[in-house]
Chain A
């Protein structure tokens, strides 16, 4: 009986095992499907990540490029600004005077720096006056102003051969109005790049 019970027990285990095997096989198939699904997902995720990475790389390099361009533009803008400043910042004088104020000297020193950094450039220094006074005398006064500015630049080491002077007297006012503000603007030495 004992032996018969043992056999039955074994058979039961077998049956259960068989059942389990069957169910296990079924389960494996299901598991396999899940795996495939996961893999695609992973692959897609991986691809997406790579894409993001590439995009990030691209953006990064673009940013770098942009920054470089920006820096270049900034540099160029700075150069242009310096050039514009050189051309547009006039040296101002008192009425009937060709003497350089400390501000005027500072401005000329700035111009000397620019001329030093741009050694290929030759300039015309124009001398101008306000409308008061005589046509002839103002041409003479304008010439004195231009020459004084030129001499200061030469003393700062700029070659005189790069600097030409011309006086327009009262003939080319920046502001044609007849008031002190306009007069102040018009009494000037002005730089023109050749």
Chain B
């Protein structure tokens, strides 16, 4: 990342100067702390921006045109990298589920030849084909350094929304495009989006279950563990540096806490089972279900594996903790009422509130990043599907997101709350990773890998660090 140089457009010297004044500089200089603040300011930002409300379940996709990249020197390398960058950009924005990338066959003009800047674009050519938004791209390659010049326009209002220049090695093109996509997302939704996020998951390797990590769109899957055992339930720390997961490497289910870069960590192997970790927001502590007392209860632990607090106290099964985004509450599965249902409890004591009432089997709660909803797994008429329940609505009626597509489990929210990754065996009965919008639309396979995949865990941070 540090190899990518983001030009200081605000104080820049180039011809991009002309549009710089229109873009609020504070966005460009937003440090990491500020990004986190912005995350909290989402409703305000969304109002300011008001292009797309990603939490609207009846959202119509916004049509966007993405032009061919203008090459500045016109050599083969530039042309090829330009094509590559254009495809990455289209794939990434298409992945969001709220943008419809228009087919370039219908385009009336070609800014790659006529110019990609504000004054050079005839917006009627774009509104005429139904494009609300337009992205133009330019690519320049000098001494193995690629410079990408990217602009997002509001075609209806003939207005520049985002303008960015990135410079880096050609191997960093994907990264640079995704940085720009984050800017686009932020401008349109008030949220930095999923483009810098990662997904951990479980995949079989030669009959064993190992933990893997891939990018938000399923690219670049990497095997993280080599226990040659059963490894399960990976979960990211808020900063994306730590993974907690379960492994039977020593014959029984224990918790493994791993710092991905520094190759250090801890093992929680109390008597009984040590399962279902969920990291806290903004803290390197996590909750997990431990049974050393003879009963499965949820505890709070440090990243070193020290138990600091017991959260549940009820005979029977208490598993699958999921923190509210403010870190003050915890949702979990318990069969205290006779059947497994979702409950919520304040971390600082207080009474336990039951959330699900429909059906006899509701498990695996996943609290949405906006704090308003909980996605979970329910069994209805012998079919396992993903539901979402609105915590703020009076009716409390769950909405079924998957239906008539075999078994669907393990919901995990994208950090911006726009998407949900899940496991489904809809393709030939083999367990695979899928993704859908939070409204249940655009259900598609996330990645192609040998073996069986399950338990996607989306990273929680939308920031650019790591």
**Assembly CA distance A165 to B379 (angstroms):** 28
Q: Are B275 and A134 in contact (CB under 8 A)?
A: no
Give the residue name and chain of the A residue nearest to B296 (CB): A140
Contact among A96, A135, A137, A141 with B454 in the assembled complex (CB-CB below 8 Å):
A135
**Assembly CA distance A134 to B366 (angstroms):** 13
Chain A proximity of B388: nearest CB distance (Å): 16
Q: How many A-B residue pairs have CB under 8 A?
A: 80
- In chain B, residues 308-339, which have Cβ atoms closer than 8 Å to a Cβ of chain A? 316-320, 333, 335, 339
If the complex has contacts A140-B296, A167-B253, A171-B230, are A135 and B340 also in contact, measured as CB distance less than 8 A? Answer: no
Q: Are A141 and B379 in contact (CB under 8 A)?
A: no
Give the residue name and chain of the A residue nearest to B360 (CB): A96
If the complex has contacts A143-B291, A171-B230, are A134 and B409 also in contact, measured as CB distance less than 8 A? Answer: yes
- In chain B, residues 412-462, which have Cβ atoms closer than 8 Å to a Cβ of chain A? 429, 454-455
- In chain B, residues 64-115, which have Cβ atoms closer than 8 Å to a Cβ of chain A? none
Give the residue name and chain of the A residue nearest to B332 (CB): A136
- A143 partner residues in chain B, CB cutoff 8 A: 272-273, 291, 296
Q: Are A166 and B276 in contact (CB under 8 A)?
A: no
Give the residue name and chain of the B residue nearest to A171 (CB): B230
If the complex has contacts A139-B253, A166-B251, are A134 and B377 also in contact, measured as CB distance less than 8 A? Answer: yes
Q: Does A147 contact B (CB under 8 A)?
A: yes
Select the residue from A133, A134, A143, A166 with max chain B CB neighbours within 10 A.
A134
Contact among A133, A140, A144 with B384 in the assembled complex (CB-CB below 8 Å):
A133
**Assembly CA distance A165 to B320 (angstroms):** 21
- A140 partner residues in chain B, CB cutoff 8 A: 273, 275, 289, 291, 296, 317-319
Q: Report A94-117 CB contacts with B as 1/0, cut-off 8 Å.
A: 001000000000000000000000
Q: Does B301 contact A (CB under 8 A)?
A: no
Q: Does B57 contact A (CB under 8 A)?
A: no
Contact among B209, B246, B318, B364 with A134 in the assembled complex (CB-CB below 8 Å):
B364
Size band of the interface chain A makes with B: 10 to 19
- B377 partner residues in chain A, CB cutoff 8 A: 133-134
Q: Are B273 and A167 in contact (CB under 8 A)?
A: yes
Give the residue name and chain of the A residue nearest to B229 (CB): A171
**Assembly CA distance A147 to B429 (angstroms):** 32
Q: Does B361 contact A (CB under 8 A)?
A: yes
Q: Does B285 contact A (CB under 8 A)?
A: no
Q: Does B294 contact A (CB under 8 A)?
A: yes
- A135 partner residues in chain B, CB cutoff 8 A: 232-233, 409-410, 454-455
Contact among A137, A167, A171 with B340 in the assembled complex (CB-CB below 8 Å):
A137
Give the residue name and chain of the A residue nearest to B407 (CB): A132
Q: Does B227 contact A (CB under 8 A)?
A: no
Select the residue from A139, A140, A141, A171 with max chain B CB neighbours within 10 A.
A140
**Assembly CA distance A168 to B363 (angstroms):** 18
Q: Does B22 contact A (CB under 8 A)?
A: no
Chain B proximity of A167: nearest CB distance (Å): 6
Q: Does B252 contact A (CB under 8 A)?
A: yes
Q: Report A146-190 CB contacts with B as 1/0, cut-off 8 Å.
A: 010000000000000000011110010000001000000000000
Q: Are B252 and A96 in contact (CB under 8 A)?
A: no
- In chain A, residues 122-137, which have Cβ atoms closer than 8 Å to a Cβ of chain B? 132-137
- B319 partner residues in chain A, CB cutoff 8 A: 136-137, 139-140
Q: Are A137 and B364 in contact (CB under 8 A)?
A: yes
Q: Are A136 and B364 in contact (CB under 8 A)?
A: yes
Give the residue name and chain of the A residue nearest to B455 (CB): A135
Q: Are A134 and B296 in contact (CB under 8 A)?
A: no
Q: Are A136 and B289 in contact (CB under 8 A)?
A: yes
Q: Are B333 and A137 in contact (CB under 8 A)?
A: yes
Q: Report B211-238 CB contacts with A as 1/0, cut-off 8 Å.
A: 0000000000000000000101100000
**Assembly CA distance A135 to B335 (angstroms):** 15
If the complex has contacts A136-B363, A166-B251, are A144 and B230 also in contact, measured as CB distance less than 8 A? Answer: no
- A166 partner residues in chain B, CB cutoff 8 A: 251-253, 273
Q: Are A133 and B429 in contact (CB under 8 A)?
A: no
- In chain B, residues 329-385, which have Cβ atoms closer than 8 Å to a Cβ of chain A? 333, 335, 339-340, 360-361, 363-364, 377, 379, 384
- B296 partner residues in chain A, CB cutoff 8 A: 140, 143-144
Q: Are A178 and B429 in contact (CB under 8 A)?
A: yes
Chain B proximity of A98: nearest CB distance (Å): 9
- B335 partner residues in chain A, CB cutoff 8 A: 96
- B317 partner residues in chain A, CB cutoff 8 A: 137, 140-141, 144
Q: Are A133 and B410 in contact (CB under 8 A)?
A: no
**Assembly CA distance A5 to B289 (angstroms):** 145
- B379 partner residues in chain A, CB cutoff 8 A: 132-133
Give the residue name and chain of the A residue nearest to B454 (CB): A135
Nearest 6 A/B pairs, CB to CB: A136-B276, A134-B363, A140-B317, A137-B363, A134-B364, A140-B319
In the complex, 28 of the A-B residue pairs with CB atoms within 8 angstroms, ordered by the A residue number, are: A96-B335, A96-B339, A132-B379, A133-B340, A133-B384, A134-B363, A134-B377, A135-B410, A135-B454, A136-B233, A136-B275, A136-B363, A136-B364, A137-B319, A137-B340, A137-B364, A139-B253, A139-B275, A140-B291, A140-B296, A143-B272, A144-B296, A144-B316, A147-B294, A165-B272, A166-B252, A171-B230, A178-B429
Binding site for B on A (CB under 8 A): 96, 132-137, 139-141, 143-144, 147, 165-168, 171, 178
A133-B377, A139-B275, A140-B317 given; 9 more Cβ-contact pairs under 8 Å: A134-B409, A135-B232, A135-B409, A136-B233, A136-B275, A140-B319, A166-B273, A167-B253, A167-B273
